Amino acid sequence: MRMLIIASLLLTAGCAARLFPAGVSGNETFVTVTNVWNSADALPYATKHCAQYGRVAQMKHTEGYSVVFDCVKP
């Protein structure tokens, strides 16, 4: 029984990112999109954020379930 509980927790841990919406934080020079699987999932959020400043998103790096973008002038 104990092994079944541990196995189910491990299998559902990766699903947690889909239960909660992505988070977006940053300013006119960068943006961090959290709670996403990869840069493709994060790109629409980063694009929208950077567009507020007349800039475009350029991926910088990933950190687990977060992706950091630079907001650069086109």
pLDDT digits (tens, 9 = 90+) for 5-64: 554 444 444 555 458 899 999 999 999 999 999 999 999 999 999 999 999 999 999 999
**Is 12 within the bounds of a domain?**
no
**Is 35 within the bounds of a domain?**
yes
Residue-level pLDDT at 18:
59
CA-wise closest residue to 23 among 7, 36, 38: 36
| Cβ count near 15 (within 10 Å) | 8
**Is 40 within the bounds of a domain?**
yes
Per the structure, the complete domain to which residue 68 belongs is given by 17-72
Number of H helices, E strands in the chain: 3, 4
The count of structural domains within the chain is 1
Regarding pTM above 0.85, the answer is no
The answer to whether residues 73 and 54 touch, using CB atoms and an 8 Å cutoff, is yes
Single-letter amino acid, residue 7: A
